[in-house]
Amino acid sequence: MRQLSVLLCLLLLTGCVVSAPQKAQFNAEYPNRQDIRSHTLYRFMTKPLKPGGGKYYGANDLAETLYVRADNAAMVELRFNYPAKSLQVKSLDAQNRTLREETYALLDESAAKPSDVESRYFFLTKEGVLLTKFKNCTPDMSVGCRWQERTLFITRNGDMAVQLASGTAGMAFLVIPFYGSQKYLEIFPKVSGA
């Protein structure tokens, strides 16, 4: 009886939270996406069509997501050099002046991450999608892992979609299991005439 009571208490203390408020929109957009390699130059507005609702770095700001945030940024330009496997990202003001610039390496999805932790890179999938991945498993009073994956793709309308998926899992105090995940999707409109 005592073992059953302990098991019942553990089940009651187990934490599991899953949040994906834009799941239906992602499921509608992702299968109909365009291959990002179909063009070498893209321009998108820095603000999404509709806020994704999350509180994380880069929420509601494409320039911040791509580390080219500037106060007067109105749009973000992505210039791909596929033969050199690089991506140049610029934040631009309303008069098309460059405010900040960052260069990313484009890695095959099966490639290892660069050893330099300061390097900027994206994995470019065979389907023409950009990905970043992060995972950290650190033992302390608990055993657990955190992960984050950012997926960037071009929608059927030519807009930039950014999905952030993050989560944690582990055993608090080596007794209580926990799991949490969340996904947010934001769509940034393309700039007309770009």
* 77 within some domain: yes
Q: Please calculate the CA angle 27-149-130 and round it to the nearest 5 degrees.
A: 75
Residue 65: domain span? 12-188
Give 95's Cβ-side CA count (13 Å radius). 3
* 155 within some domain: yes
Instruction: Please state the domain count of the chain.
Output: 1
* 7 within some domain: no
Question: Which pTM value belongs to this model?
Answer: 0.82
* 6 within some domain: no
* 105 within some domain: yes
Cα 59 to its chain centre, rounded Å, is 10
Longest dimension (CA), the chain: 74
* 120 within some domain: yes
* 73 within some domain: yes
* 4 within some domain: no
Per-residue pLDDT of the chain (194 residues; tens, 9 = 90+): 666 555 444 444 455 556 666 788 888 889 999 999 999 999 999 999 876 666 665 567 899 999 999 989 999 999 999 999 999 999 999 999 999 999 999 999 888 888 787 789 999 999 999 999 888 877 665 678 888 899 999 999 999 999 988 888 887 777 778 788 888 889 999 998 65
In Å, what is the CA distance from 116 to each residue of 58, 100, 119, 121?
22, 22, 6, 11
